[in-house]
Amino acid sequence: MCAKSGYFKEREDQLSEIEIPQEFPGGAETFEKIMLFIYGCPTLIHPFNIAGLRCAAQFLEMTEQHSTGNLCERFDLYLNQVVLQNWDDTLVVLKKCQDLVPWSEDLLIVSRCIESLAFTACMEILDPERRREKPVIMLEGMVNQPWEYTNIERIINQDTWIKDLTDLPFEFFKKIIGSLRRQGMKERYVSPLVALYASKSVIPEGQTNTDILQRALDLLLTRDKAYRFVPVGFYFACLAHNLKHDTVLKLQDQIVSLLHTAQPENFIYPKAGNRQVAFSQELLTMESLFSVYVSTESERHLTSSSSNVRVGKLWDIFLSRLPYDQEMKTTRFIELIETVPMSFRESHDQLYLAVNAFLQVCAFTFSFFHYV
């Protein structure tokens, strides 16, 4: 032991009583395997134990300085020549590294695994040998669909590499995203990957991990124009959760820029039975989003574009689906109608439906038909 380990060499006069500290990487099982290696017993190395063995060997200072062909070098060779050449093996080792921090990070095992996975993922996108039978799944198909868990799950499961990366603990996923960007993967592929990861913390309803969602959004919202590659339904889904104020503002900016691509199913609606619908947080948020859109378009002097007509129709559909209550005043309803200007409306069909929905609940008539 003293011939191969600097740790034991320094404690040679204490070996009869030496006690391995609790922070020993990999615990007693890994220490036992190291002892078997030291005494020449055949012991199997595999992806499930190599990270622990390499960290333990470093802890025991089993380097070339003490013995030629020592364990640190042998384990590094296995990592580089076997593990990092295989996607599944690399994933296994990376996940095992989670319980070996900071050793696994200091020895660059984590970073080597991250770079290997990112490189392979980039090759999946580039596909230089044209082995893919179909293109990489993107989120364009979600533009006309509600952002629902079943749809997201289906997309994630269609590509193994996407499923594997979105299953990683957040700290490793964050490093993967950084590596993908450094290695040149286009943002049109990276941003949807972040959105898919974030969505796993948003849905299904009732299982939201707000901290993970917040941190995942930071990976997305800090990238210039990354929003273009993610459907607006994703941002609406995130907006429904308790996030930091500055993140909410960024989400709202993204929504406004993509509002013309939204679907009514994406919107945030007050809960039925709420007797404060007129000034509910959901309605105020939606009203603000559409108002900002209108203001932005007015500044650009664009009042009759197809996008604006689309937004006008969406607002009227939203109004027609509101769960009105008898507490809503006529003036408030008219105020909601006027959120978008009449120039945004080519047809008044949806507005008539909104009026009808309001009248059925409020059960009184008022004169406002000059608006339509």
**What's the CA dihedral at 290, 295, 300, 303 to 10 degrees?**
60
What six digits make up the tokens of 308? 């604006």
> Span 237-259, mean pLDDT?
89
What six digits make up the tokens of 283? 């309605």
How high is the mean pLDDT of the chain? 86
104-130: pLDDT as tens digits: 999 999 999 999 999 999 988 877 556
* Tokens 């500055």 sit on residue: 246
Please, which pLDDT band fits residue 132 given cuts at 50, 70 and 90? low
Alpha-carbon gap, residue 223 to 58, rounded angstroms? 38
Asked whether 290 and 284 are in contact (CB, 8 A), the reply is no
- Of 210, 212, 173, the C-alpha closest to 193 is 173
pLDDT of residue 15: 67
Alpha-carbon gap, residue 42 to 350, rounded angstroms? 77
pLDDT of residue 275: 67
Three-state DSSP string of the chain: CCCCCHHHHCCHHHCCCCCCCCCCCCHHHHHHHHHHHHCCCCCCCCCCCHHHHHHHHHHCCCCCCCCCCCHHHHHHHHHHHCHHHCHHHHHHHHHHHHHHCCHHHHCCHHHHHHHHHHHHHHHHHHCCCCCCCCCCCCCHHHCCCCCCHHHHHHHHHHCHHHHHHHCCCHHHHHHHHHHHHHCCCCHHHHHHHHHHHHHHHHCCCCCCCHHHHHHHHHHHHCCCCHHHHCCHHHHHHHHCCCCCHHHHHHHHHHHHHHHHHCCHHHCCCCCCCCCCHHHCHHHHHHHHHHHHHHHHHHHCCCCCCHHHHHHHHHHHHHHHCCCCCCCCCHHHHHHHHCCCCHHHCCCCHHHHHHHHHHHHHHCCCCCCHHHC
Asked whether 69 and 94 are in contact (CB, 8 A), the reply is no
Asked whether 52 and 92 are in contact (CB, 8 A), the reply is no
pLDDT of residue 298: 79
Alpha-carbon gap, residue 61 to 54, rounded angstroms? 10
34-83: pLDDT as tens digits: 988 888 887 789 999 999 999 999 999 998 788 788 899 999 999 999 99
Alpha-carbon gap, residue 6 to 63, rounded angstroms? 8
Angle between helices 50-59 and 109-126 in degrees, nearest 10 = 150
> Span 6-10, mean pLDDT?
83
- Candidate from 81-95, 145-159, 236-250 with smallest mean pLDDT: 145-159
pTM: 0.84
What six digits make up the tokens of 331? 């003036």
